[in-house]
Structure 1
Amino acid sequence: MPKVIFIVGPTATGKTETSFLLAEDLKAEIISSDSMLIYKEPQIITSKPPSYMLKKIPHHFVGIISVKDTYNVFDYYLKAIKKIKDLFNQGKNIIVCGGSGLYIKVILDGIFEGPAKDENLRRELQERLKNYGRDYLFEELKRIDPQTAKKISVSDHKRIIRALEVYYLSGIPISEKKRQANGLWRRLPIKIFGLRLKRKELYERINRRVEEMFEKGAVEEVCRLLKMDLSITAEKIIGIKEIKDYLEGNIDFEKAKEEMKKNTRHFAKRQITWFKKDKRIEWIDIDGLTSCEIKEEIKKRL
């Protein structure tokens, strides 16, 4: 049976090289799960895999649209699910590699599509909240959907009301609706590995990577990108705002680098927080390990 392996974790942990080496050994194809690698034009500031990797191993969802185009998680979900199913049915091993937590989540768990909002019902629930207090609504949720109640704080009125609304409109608890979502976790034999570094080493790697980006021509690349009509999603690529501020004279060159390092570190911190919540991930501490050694460790655990 084909293997479906996820390699996840924060930026600068060597996911790209590890996935490539593993794909070589397993004769696998790679599904990118990085929301910035989908763009064709940026090479440096998105740390696009080098051309020799792209030529040797099929990479999907790398450089598929222009920075002029918008792209969202639902677009990715529809295409990635189909591609993974197709490859699996062809008997191919698959490696899903990336750090975009939401992209990973929709592949695994699908996208929950609840009933449309009902303003009359919502007003009624809000009136109950006002008249009887938060404990009243929370007890109602515990009665009809104890699984969801365990995951929601009694003070999170918005989510409590939405969970009750879904149940009253559909007759199905929101926890069951989410379970039925069209993800691959329960449908394919999936293993998820997370690459983990000590925070100090991770931040040092990030700082070195940003320095290398500037040495390779990040400023010139952003100059070219700014001449294009960037979409709202493409504008979020780390490096564009920072270098634009430098080019417009708002900050100096060193400040641009420091801002890019800082924003990348903050991004990595958010990634760590996201992935920590997913108990399905099998973590590998990679301090002091080469990509080849990480690859061998993954193979041992398959």
Structure 2
Amino acid sequence: MAGPDAVLIAGPTASGKSALALKLAREYGGAVINADAMQVYRELRVLSARPDAAEEAEPPHYLYGFVSAFEPFSVGRWLVAAQEALDDARTKGLIPIVTGGTGLYFAALLNGLSPIPEIHASIRVEARQKLAELGNEAFHAALAARDPEMGARLNTGDSQRLVRAWEVIEATGQSLAEWQALKGEPVLTGDLARFVLKPNRDWLIERIGRRFHLMMEQGALDEVRSLRGIGSDLPAARALGVPSLLAHLDGRITLDQAVEQAIIQTRQYAKRQMTWFRHQMPDWNVIERSSVDEAAPVIAEMLE
């Protein structure tokens, strides 16, 4: 494929990004690099709608299912892995096709990350212990007393970000907001073809529901059963469908209620994604098509 140094495809959940990237990679000699925060987990193939094993093998797919759901994972770790994937794909003469729905991953790729120092493991442990002892509300108040700006930014229920803000000010004496204001170095530069999918709203809503029911048929409940006991502060514990299905497995809600909750939460998440893309990706090419077969020719024409 002549032209861009890399292709970027963002879009809301269930919009067909993975299938579109696969199609383009097959047609133009590309490699697919995952930019979805939940598709990194090996235990979540079904619920994260990862490509199947055959698709991941050919053409080459990177950063899919390479992390355990039972360990912490951050955008910083993803960015390091993404750099390695980009280098490997180019060494093999393949065009990197980066696709996913995690806007923060794309932002880090294009703008770099703030140079926050590595936080010592002991501080991380102490921060989580403090959250467990105090509870979210009191922990949030304690953070706000030390770091008013981050205290005002964060919601009481956002355990992961509360802990992160505490870790940073504890380790460095500076607010996470101050570190975030410092500019990092972009990982991906050059001639980039950037696309964001914007499918028809009604089409997407219907597809989200249909896809989740299919996930249930494919073993989503067994997948979540294997996650019982996962720490609530880990990102995988908040993956779409996981909290609701865990609640069902714990006997707190029926299976029908769990499925309904998960579908509603997925719709809400897709709406938030679209809002983020609209505000943060104003210069990207918007593809207003509702299927891979409709979107692929439009993108192909723009790549020629």
- Per the alignment, residue 138 of structure 1 pairs with none
Deviation string 1:249-280 (CA, Å, 9 cap, x unpaired) is 21111111110001111111111111111112
Aligned to 1:282: 285
Q: Which residue of 1 aligns with 2:264?
A: 262
1:195 aligns with 2:234: no
- Give me the CA root mean square deviation: 2.7
Cα pair 2:232 2:238 within 8 Å, conserved: no
The answer to whether the Cα contact below 8 Å between 1:33 and 1:100 also exists between their aligned partners in 2 is: yes
For 1:182, the aligned partner's letter is E
Q: Which runs of 4+ in 1 moved over 2 A?
A: 85-92, 112-115, 227-231
User: Letter of the aligned partner of 1:204 in structure 2?
Assistant: E
Distance 1:274 1:89 in 2: 33
Equivalence for 1:34: 36
**1:155-208 alpha-carbon deviations (Å, 9 max, x no partner):** xxxxxxx8x978xxxxxxx6xx53xx31145x3211111111122221111111
> How far did 1:235 drift?
0.8
Retained in 1: the 8 A contact 2:45–2:65?
no
Extract unaligned runs of 5+ from structure 2.
Answer: 118-147, 149-174
Aligned to 2:167: none
Aligned amino acid, residue 16 of structure 1: S
Q: What's the offset of the Cα at 1:85?
A: 3.8
Q: Is the 8 A contact 2:70 2:230 kept in 1?
A: yes
Q: TM-score, normalised by structure 2?
A: 0.73
Q: Which amino acid aligns with 2:287?
A: I
Structure 2 residue aligned with 1:5: 7
2:240/2:262 contact within 8 Å kept: yes
Q: Identity, % of aligned pairs?
A: 30
Q: TM-score, normalised by structure 1?
A: 0.74
Cα distance in 2, alignment partners of residues 165 and 272 from structure 1: 28
Distance in 1 between residues matched to 2:178 and 2:301, nearest whole Å: 47
Shift in CA distance, 282/76, structure 1 to aligned 2, threshold 3 Å: same
Number of residue pairs aligned between Structure 1 and Structure 2: 245
For residues 230 and 251 of structure 1, the distance between their equivalents in structure 2, rounded to whole angstroms, comes to: 18
- Give, as a single letter, the amino acid of the residue that structure 1 aligns with 2:236: A
Q: Counterpart in 2 of 1:212?
A: 214
Q: Which moved more, 1:21-30 or 1:198-207?
A: 198-207
**Which residue of the partner structure matches residue 292 of structure 2?**
291
Contact 1:68 1:230 in 2 (8 A): no
Flag the 1:17–1:165 CA change in 2: closer, same or farther, 3 A: closer
Distance 1:42 1:89 in 2: 30
**Aligned letter for 1:97?**
T
Alpha-carbon separation, structure 2, partners of 1:63 and 1:84: 17
Instruction: Give 3-state SS (helix, strand or coil) of 1:219's partner.
Output: helix
Alignment partners' CA distance in 2, 1:292 and 1:32? 21
Q: What CA deviation, in whole Å up to 9, does each residue of 1:215-268 have, x standing for no partner? A: 222112211221667871221111111011111221111111110001111111
Structure 1: distance between partners of 2:55 and 2:217: 21
How big is the shift at 1:31? 0.6
1: CA distance, partners of 2:14 / 2:268: 13
Shift in CA distance, 48/114, structure 1 to aligned 2, threshold 3 Å: closer
CA contact (8 A) 1:21 1:292 kept: no
Find the residue that maps to 1:225 and give its secondary structure: coil
Larger Rg: 1
Alignment of 1:227-242 (within 5 A): 232-242=234-244
Change (3 A) 1:299 1:226: same
Q: Note if contact 1:67-1:230 (Cα within 8 Å) is conserved in structure 2.
A: no
8 Å contact kept, 1:243–1:256 = yes
Q: Secondary structure at the match of 1:255?
A: helix
Is the 1:196–1:286 Cα contact (8 Å) retained in structure 2?
Answer: yes
